[in-house]
């Protein structure tokens, strides 16, 4: 175990929250989350950054917090991307090989994927992901991994995810302004899928529905291959807005009502129960019945489920999804939502928790649907590093700061002893003082040499 441990950091920029997370892989290949921090997101609407300054402030707050909690410093991050501008398409590509007898190398598969990045797309769009679905070697179809096979013509079907350049650039700008670098941008439904779906579900056929604050992400899997991705521009926030307008109350009260007393099924909500909401600026309090609240929520959730249903039909795999639907994201915590989803889609439904690949002490705290994307980004990050054999710029605070920290006026032994909180020590000494002390020591050395 003398090998240096590899850490991965990720930032999930959502409509309601921004999450910074740091993790590592243990010896069993499971993910251990070392630190997680979240802040309110004010500059993002429907998964797209609209206010860069507010988003940068939230990112900096969470990053500083997570670095303190975990003791890990990082300068690179994996970032999620979503938003209604995301669309997907299918394409097919091939390369002709020089020699028939040589084995197909990994580099040739990468070249085929690279070629897909050059396909024609509309102005103002860029390719975010190129995902191979299956390969064809000399008319031999259904090949999952062609590496090591022999053949002249290597062909593949691809699932290509496209997004707007401006949306991706704004995310990058926010990360850069927070003094970090984007290692890779990952489509959020793919990250959530990695965190909550089992291999059996992906093989049998499953739909992942990630209900966030501003968007609902959909990913359809069949035979272990991603078949369809989509981002629906509605989420939990439109439900809150409906409650706010329908009951004529404040936004924060509407959100509280939805979380504490909300239900996605109006028919089974109790008729005799009411909740009292404080009046605005000293006015009379309002009484809202559980039943009317549930009907407001149900009507909007049905609209979201109808949009999900449309995407399922659109994928062409509606009749092959034996594992049904898995719902995750903050919206999945709404009471009776699985029952409504089952009624509307006529499929099996379960709530997806990101515990499938987690280990360590923080497992229980993070095992909530709202953190599915964050955990998935860490998993995708490790996968990216392993696939492309790249390293990630992150390490324990001591490793990062120790060479740079100079504690003025102390001997070497004392420096070692007083090193416990390196960051605070660094901050206590102003830069001008450091420069003065360095200059005075230089002159001292010169004086001695003159003597």
Whether residue 121 is predicted with pLDDT greater than 80 in this model: the reply is yes
What is the SS3 assignment for 70?
Answer: helix
Query: CA torsion, points 145, 150, 155, 156, in degrees to nearest 10?
Result: 0
Q: What is the pLDDT of residues 350-359, one digit of tens each?
A: 999 998 788 8
Whether residue 432 is predicted with pLDDT greater than 90 in this model: the reply is no
d(CA 132, CA 450): 72
Task: Average the pLDDT over 246-252 and give the result.
Answer: 91
Q: Return the pLDDT at 441.
A: 55
d(CA 189, CA 323): 17
Q: What is the pLDDT of residues 314-331, one digit of tens each?
A: 999 999 999 999 999 999
Mean pLDDT across the chain: 85
Whether residue 381 is predicted with pLDDT greater than 70 in this model: the reply is yes
Q: What is the pLDDT of residues 438-449, one digit of tens each?
A: 555 555 544 444
Q: Return the pLDDT at 423.
A: 38
**DSSP H or E segment with residue 161:** strand 153-164
Whether residue 213 is predicted with pLDDT greater than 50 in this model: the reply is yes
Residue 399 token pair: 């490793």
Cα end-to-end span (Å), the chain? 52
Residue 112 token pair: 């085929």
pTM exceeds 0.85, yes or no: no
Q: Return the pLDDT at 84.
A: 83
Instruction: Give the other-Cβ count within 10 Å of 439's Cβ.
Output: 10
* Nearest CA among 32, 37, 24 for reference residue 63: 37
Express as a percent the part of the chain with pLDDT over 70.
Answer: 87
Whether residue 428 is predicted with pLDDT greater than 50 in this model: the reply is no
**Contact status, residue 383 vs residue 55, Cβ threshold 8 Å:** no
Give buried/exposed letters for 57-72 (b at 16+ CB in 10 A, else e): bbbbbbbebbbeebeb
Q: What is the pLDDT of residues 44-77, one digit of tens each?
A: 888 788 899 999 999 999 999 999 999 999 999 9
Chosen CATH of 87-166 out of 3.40.50.2300, 3.30.1490.110, 3.20.20.70, 3.30.70.2740:
3.30.1490.110
Q: What is the pLDDT of residues 84-93, one digit of tens each?
A: 888 899 999 9
Express as a percent the part of the chain with pLDDT over 90.
Answer: 60
Q: Return the pLDDT at 406.
A: 36
Its CATH architecture, for the domain 199-351, is: 2-Layer Sandwich (3.30)
């Amino acid at each position: 175990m003398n090998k240096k441990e590899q850490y991965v950091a990720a930032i999930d920029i959502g409509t309601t929250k921004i999450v910074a997370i740091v993790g590592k892989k243990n010896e069993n290949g499971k993910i251990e989350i070392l630190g997680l921090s979240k802040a309110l997101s004010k500059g993002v609407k429907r998964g797209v950054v609209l206010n860069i300054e507010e988003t940068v402030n939230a990112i900096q707050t969470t990053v500083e917090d997570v670095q303190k909690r975990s003791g890990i410093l990082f300068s690179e991050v994996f970032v999620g991307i979503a938003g209604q501008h995301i669309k997907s398409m299918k394409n097919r590509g091939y390369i002709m090989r020089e020699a028939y007898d040589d084995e197909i190398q990994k580099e040739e598969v990468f070249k085929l994927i690279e070629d897909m990045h050059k396909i024609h797309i509309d102005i103002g769009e860029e390719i975010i992901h190129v995902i191979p679905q299956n390969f064809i070697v000399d008319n031999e179809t259904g090949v999952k991994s062609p590496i090591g096979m022999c053949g002249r013509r290597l062909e593949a079907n691809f699932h290509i995810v496209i997004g707007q350049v401006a949306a991706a650039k704004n995310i990058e700008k926010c990360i850069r302004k927070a003094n970090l670098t984007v290692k890779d941008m990952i489509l959020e439904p793919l990250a959530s899928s990695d965190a909550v779906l089992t291999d059996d579900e992906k093989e049998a056929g499953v739909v992942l529905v990630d209900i966030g604050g501003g968007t609902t992400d959909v990913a359809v899997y069949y035979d272990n291959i991603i078949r369809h991705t989509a981002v629906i521009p509605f989420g939990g926030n439109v439900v809150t807005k409906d409650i706010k307008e329908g009951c004529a109350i404040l936004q924060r009260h509407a959100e509280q009502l939805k979380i504490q007393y909300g239900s996605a099924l109006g028919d089974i909500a109790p008729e005799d129960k009411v909740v009292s909401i404080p009046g605005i600026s000293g006015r009379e309090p309002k009484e809202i019945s559980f039943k009317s609240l549930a009907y407001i929520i149900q009507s909007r959730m049905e609209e979201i489920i109808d949009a999900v249903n449309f995407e399922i039909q659109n994928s062409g795999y509606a009749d092959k999804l034996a594992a049904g639907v898995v719902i995750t994201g903050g919206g999945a915590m709404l009471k009776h939502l699985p029952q409504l989803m089952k009624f509307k889609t006529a499929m099996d439904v379960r709530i997806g928790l990101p515990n499938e690949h987690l280990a360590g002490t923080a497992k229980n705290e993070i095992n909530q649907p709202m953190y599915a994307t964050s955990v998935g980004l860490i998993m995708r990050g490790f996968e990216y590093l392993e696939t492309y054999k790249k390293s990630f710029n992150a390490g324990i605070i001591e490793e990062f700061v120790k060479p740079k920290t100079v504690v003025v006026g102390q001997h070497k032994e004392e420096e070692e002893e007083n090193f416990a909180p390196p960051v605070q020590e660094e901050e206590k000494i102003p830069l001008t003082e450091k420069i003065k002390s360095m200059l005075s020591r230089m002159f001292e050395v010169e004086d001695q040499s003159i003597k």
